[in-house]
Amino acid sequence: MKTKRKRDGALYKALLIGVNIGLIILAYYIAFYFKFNRIISPKHIRQFYQIIPYLIITSLVFFYVNDVFAIFKKSYLDIIYSSMISLVMINVTTVAILFLARTLSFPRSVLMISSILQVITVFIWTTIVWKRVQKVNRKKDAMIIGNKSDSDIVLKKVLINSKNHMNIKYICNKLDDEMYKYIDKVDEVIIAPGIESHIKDEIITYCIEMDKTSYLVPSLSEISLYNASIEQFDDIPTFKIDSLYMSLEKRFMKRTLDLFISVIGLLLTWPIMIIVSIVIKLYDGGNILFSQERLTRDNKTFNLYKFRTMIVDAEKHTGPTLATEKDPRITPLGRILRSTRLDELPQLFNVLMGDMSIVGPRPEREYFAKEFIKDIPDFKYRVIVKAGVTGFAQVWGKYTTSPENKIRYDLLYIRNYSFLLDLKLILETIKVMFVKESSSGIKEGKSVDELLEEENLKTCMKPSIIEIEQKR
């Protein structure tokens, strides 16, 4: 068995979060210092010390919720956005605490000055850490194992994703003993779907033995192991795999959050909905709202509401048809509404009425659900929970994400559900609305050969392997 030193990024994560919290606290102190002409009274010093524990706790919570810890996985824009939205939430929470705790009272100018200082200092520090991480976190050589069609899909996704830190060196479509010689030559192994379970086990076991990192595209049974608890039968350790169904306590917490978010959302967005309604009516004189029967928990049907983004009677001559990225039925105004997600706002009424949840699998039409189940049997498990306005697939996936991968996201959400996860996905949805991948949509339409050409790479066929190397 080989052993080697590994970087897990713990030091950089601790530095990033620890110094960020220190900068937030320091910003308040400096604001006090200048507000009171460099003479801080004992009263204000005492108030400053009293607020520090709240700042630390709220900072840790919101840095976690906004995934600021994931500095090794995020792009520069992502990590800056996550840090800035965290600062907004930390300061809003601080204001709420000051309002509720009558014993604490900060001048508004202190809050203003400290917020500006936080944005400047956290931005600079995050930039420094992110650039340092990029220098020390070298790209690792990787290998894809799977049949040709599946391995091509994985290769394309790796080439498209500019944030990854992998150099794909080999593709193995032939699963034999020769494969292990090439595993020895790389740092990481990606196991594509479609490989038999016993072969997966052999590959993962070998990777563990040789100190290699392995990535697995999961099946339902593998997703079921996620967050499994450990139970013992005398001295036999076992994994306890719970049902995918949510407990009554979790359903109560989820419904409470849904009611809170939907009411607040409707109060905040009703002026926007009125403006959008007027614009749609003036645009072509058609119906403002689009209503369609969809499936939610336990296959119950309900009428989903959206602002209409397609031409009137879009399916009159075609019948049920899935929308595509460049669907000619979508109006120019509809494209704007879809890109900003404003067309989804009426679904807040669906959430309020209890037909939907804020977070969950997207509601599907019965016709398409039956079609998907024929090819993807696991699709039926999506209706274990209520349909959602947003979810894993909407935040982490793309418009072009395949149904197979969308169901993986949905099942991962159901298995991993928590109150904090819902909050995190709601915040991530806001980010998706405003921060878009500029080039991924263009690259999706390209073939693997075209993407390899862009990276100045070529494939070299060998007896049992495909090698990818730089062109000379």
Residue 247 corresponds to which tokens in the numbers above? Answer: 């407990």
Closest CA to 404 of 378, 365, 374, 443: 378
Residue 118 and residue 29 in contact, taking contact as beta carbons nearer than 8 Å: no
Whether pLDDT at 124 is above 90: yes
In a 13 Å sphere around the CA of 345, the CA atoms on its Cβ side amount to 26
Alpha-carbon distance of 387 to 378, in angstroms, equals 16
Q: Strands, E, within 285-387: which ranges?
A: 289-295, 301-307, 357-359
Query: Which residues have C-beta within 8 Å of that of residue 438, sequence separation ≥ 6?
Result: none
The reported pLDDT for the residue numbered 441 is 46
Identify the band that residue 442 occupies on the pLDDT scale cut at 50, 70 and 90: very low
Output the CA–CA distances (angstroms, integers) from residue 153 to 122, 223, 293, 354, 398, in the order listed.
Answer: 38, 20, 33, 38, 15
Mean per-residue pLDDT, 68-82: 80
pLDDT band for 1, please (50, 70, 90 cuts): low
**CB of 357 within 8 A of CB of 385?**
yes
Specify whether the CB–CB gap between 66 and 82 falls below 8 A: yes
Q: Are 217 and 209 in contact (CB under 8 A)?
A: no
Structure tokens at 307: 């602002």
Q: CA separation (Å) from 262 to 257, 270, 437?
A: 8, 12, 28
Exposed/middle/buried for residue 144 (C-beta within 10 Å: 0-12, 13-18, 19+): buried
Q: Which amino acid is present at 428?
A: E
Please tell me whether residue 458 adopts helix, strand or coil conformation.
Answer: strand
Gap between the Cα atoms of 292 and 158, Å rounded: 37
C-beta of residue 92 within 8 angstroms of C-beta of residue 54:
no
Tokens 């119906």 -> residue = 287
- The pLDDT tens digits of the residues spanning 318-370 come to 666 666 666 778 888 888 888 778 888 999 999 999 999 999 999 998 888 88
- Say what the pLDDT of residue 66 is: 80
d(CA 51, CA 60): 15
* Residue 183 pLDDT > 80: yes
Buried b / exposed e over 175-204, threshold 16 CB at 10 Å, is beeebeebbeebbbbbbbbebeeeebeebe
Q: 62-96: string of b/e by CB count within 10 Å (b at 16+)? A: bbebbbbbebbebeeebbbbbbbbbbebbbebbee
What sign does the dihedral 170-174-175-180 (CA atoms) show? Answer: negative
User: For residue 346, what are the CA distances in angstroms to 254, 270, 341, 350, 351?
Assistant: 20, 10, 11, 7, 9
C-alpha torsion sign, points 359, 365, 366, 372: negative
Of 8-12, 47-51, 175-179, the range with the lowest mean pLDDT is: 8-12
CA 270 to chain centre: 27
Q: Where are the alpha helices (DSSP H) in 211-313?
A: 220-224, 248-284
DSSP 8-class letter at 310: B
User: In the chain, what percentage of residues exceed pLDDT 70?
Assistant: 89
Kindly report, residue by residue over 203-234, the tens digit of the pLDDT: 999 999 999 999 998 888 888 888 888 898 98
What predicted TM-score, i.e. pTM, was given to this entire model? 0.78
CB distance 109 to 73 below 8 Å: no
Per-residue DSSP letters for 145-180?
Answer: ES-HHHHHHHHHHHHH-TT--EEEEEEE-S-STHHH
Quick check: 40 pLDDT over 80? no
Going by DSSP bridges, is the β-strand pair 236-240/229-233 parallel, antiparallel, or unpaired?
antiparallel
Choose between 430 and 224: higher pLDDT.
224
- 8 Å CB contact between 74 and 67: yes
Q: Which of 28-32, 85-89, 107-111, 385-389 ranks highest by mean pLDDT?
A: 385-389
pLDDT value at position 6? 55
The single-letter code of the amino acid at 26 is L
Query: DSSP secondary-structure letter at 397?
Result: S
Report the sign of the C-alpha dihedral through residues 123, 125, 126, 130, in that order: positive
Please state the φ and ψ torsions of residue 260, each to the nearest 5 degrees. Answer: -65, -50
